[in-house]
Amino acid sequence: MTKSETKLIVGIGVLILLIDILLMKYWISNIKPDRFMSAGVELRRPVIFGVNILIGIIVLFIKKRLSILFFVNTIVCYWIFSFFWNSYLENHPYSQTNYHFKIENRNLRLDISENPNTYGIYELTPNTKDSLKIIELGMNEKRGDSIVLELWDGEIQEMYIYDDKLIGLPENPNPIELNKKE
């Protein structure tokens, strides 16, 4: 192998590495993993492995020396994917805020989670075997200085949290004062 062929292979290897980094970063930003998606990472790794092996086999028939780059890239992609997955989780940690409120002598709790952006409204019933009764679950989205709560079941119904008040609860359309619990 001549010196120019070696430089070409190294250059192609660096190009493949840069493409891998850009594609993996883009893919992870679209997936938006959360800490409850540990199975998700295990489902995507075989795809990465399979694609690189398939490309390596195709290139093997065209140019044998270049196929080695794709077989090595199989391992490198695995590490790059794991790095970006873990990095996303570290930069987008899970957090939850709890609010308590009352409606007609019923004690209720509103949990707002980030990464994943979900919410839950629960009725707190003391002295029972199951002290939480699920009232509503859905997704939350930050819009300006308020939080919009949208139902999971496909209904077009939105509630808002603004200035520590819950607005638009179907059971009580009046703004409800929320008490934040640490």
Taking all residues of the chain, what is their mean pLDDT, rounded to a whole number?
Answer: 85
Contact 8, 63 (CB under 8 A): no
Mean pLDDT along residues 142-157: 78
State how far the Cα of 116 lies from the Cα of 71, in Å rounded to an integer: 35
CA atoms within 13 Å, Cβ hemisphere of 56 = 16
Neighbours of 80 (CB within 10 A): 19
Contact 175, 167 (CB under 8 A): yes
* Banded model confidence at residue 128, pLDDT cuts 50, 70, 90: low
- What whole-number percentage of the chain has pLDDT above 90? 16
Q: Which pLDDT tens digit goes with each residue over 1-57?
A: 788 888 988 899 899 999 999 999 998 888 888 877 766 677 788 888 888 899 889
Position 64 scores a pLDDT of 84
Helices 38-62 and 64-91 cross at an angle (nearest 10°) of 160
Mean pLDDT along residues 52-77: 88
Position 148 scores a pLDDT of 87
Report H helices in the chain: 3-31, 38-62, 64-91
Name the residue among 6, 29, 26, 7 with its Cα closest to residue 18.
26
State how far the Cα of 10 lies from the Cα of 22, in Å rounded to an integer: 18
Strands 165-167 and 176-177 turn out to be antiparallel
- Domain boundaries, given as residue ranges, for the chain: 3-91, 95-181
* Banded model confidence at residue 98, pLDDT cuts 50, 70, 90: very high
Name the residue among 141, 137, 142 with its Cα closest to residue 120.
137
169 exposure class (CB count in 10 Å sphere: 0-12, 13-18, 19+) = buried
Would you say the pTM of this structure is higher than 0.85? no
Mean pLDDT along residues 155-159: 72
Check whether 76 has a pLDDT greater than 80. Answer: yes
